[in-house]
Amino acid sequence: MVSFEKVRLKALELGFDFAGVARAEALDDEARRLEQWLAGGFHGEMSYMENHFDLRTDPRKLLPGTRSVIVLSHNYYAEQNGTSGAKIARYAYGQDYHKVLRKKCKALERWMKEAYGDILFRAFIDSGPVMEREWANRAGLGWNGRNTLNIRPGVGSYFFLTCVLTDLVFEYAYPLRDYCGSCTRCIEACPTEAISPSGYLLDASRCISYLTIELRKEIPQEYSEKMEGWVFGCDICQEVCPWNRFAKPHSEPAFSPSPALLNMTAYDWSQISEKLWDVISRGSPLRRTGRAGMQRNGSFLLKSRAKGEQSDSTRLP
C-alpha cells in the first residue's frame, strides 16, 4: 500500500485543487441507472453515450490491472459572465481544458513513475468512457447534487474532474453524504425543465448546454423563449446553487477569457466571419460547436428576443 498524501501534495503543487482516491470496482448500481437513462432517451443525439457500456461501468475493463481511481479537481470559476447579453458557460472562457489539464497530468505521471517505478497510469479528462462524477463521490471530493453535478462543501461545483487509473493501492476515502437537503433551487430555475421534479436525473436532450453544443440540428422552436441569453452552454443550475456562494475565482491564466469573447453579442455570433471565428475559437472549447453552430445559436437567440418583444408589444394597452 502506498501513501496517498504524497500524490495529493504533488497534485496540488501542479495546480489541482483537491485530490482523492477510490478502489477500482464495478459500478453496478450506476450501471443500472445509466441503462435506464439511455433507455429513456435522455441522452438525445449523444449516441456515443451508448458506446463501451462495460468499460464505462468498470475501469478494470477499461485498463486491465487497474486497482485504484485517483480523482483530481481543478477550479474554473470566473466572476464575470459577459456583458453583451450573449452568455457563455464559464468553463469555456479560456483555453481548452482538456489540453491544459493533460499537461498537468503528464507532469504527475512523470513524477509518479519516478517515485513508484513502471506503474500503470492513464488519465481521462472528460474524454473517455469514465463516470467522473461517481468516482469523485467515491473518492470523497463531493456529492452528486440534484442538478447531477458534483458539489464540494465550502467550494461549490465550478470545477473540472480528471480520473487517473493506476495499479497502485492506497488507503481509500469514504464517499461524502448528500448535502442538498430540501433545496430545489436548481430544479425551479431551469427554464427548460431539464432536471426531473425530484432532482438527480437530467434529461440532457432538454438542457441548454446540449441544445447549444451537442445538438447538430436546428434548435426546436419550443425553446425559443427559454434560452435566457445563452449561446454556448449554461450555468443556471450552478448560479442558483447555494453552495456556489463559496466559489472563488481560479488562478489559472489559461482559463482567463479574452475581452473579445465576452463582448460578442448574439448578432456578432450570428454573423461571425471565418477569419474572426478562427481567432476567437483557437484553442477554445467553442470549437466543439463549430462556427456554423455558433451562428445558429446567435440567430436563434436573436429570433427569440424578437419574438419576445413582439409578444410584449401585443400586451400593451
Amino acid letter for position 63? L
Residues in the chain: 317
- Could you tell me if residue 200 is left (phi over 0), alpha (psi between -120 and 50 degrees) or otherwise beta? left
Cell numbers 448528500 label which residue?
A: 178
Q: Would you tell me how many other CB atoms lie within 10 Å of the CB of residue 278?
A: 11
The reply to whether 126 belongs to the active site is yes
Strands (E), the chain: 18-23, 68-75, 87-88, 121-124, 143-144, 150-151, 159-166, 230-232
Torsion of CA 166, 11, 147, 31, to 10 degrees: 0
> Among residues 126, 167, 278, 312, which one is catalytic?
126
- Which residues on adjacent β-strands are paired with residue 4? none
Q: Would you tell me how many other CB atoms lie within 10 Å of the CB of residue 157?
A: 22
Q: What is the rounded distance in angstroms from the CA atom of residue 21 to the CA atom of residue 201?
A: 25
Q: What is the rounded distance in angstroms from the CA atom of residue 111 to the CA atom of residue 8?
A: 12
Say which residues have a Cβ less than 8 Å from residue 243's Cβ, sequence separation at least 6: 145, 151, 152, 153, 154, 155, 156, 157, 179
Query: Contact, 229 vs 304, CB < 8 A?
Result: no
Residues taking part in catalysis: 126
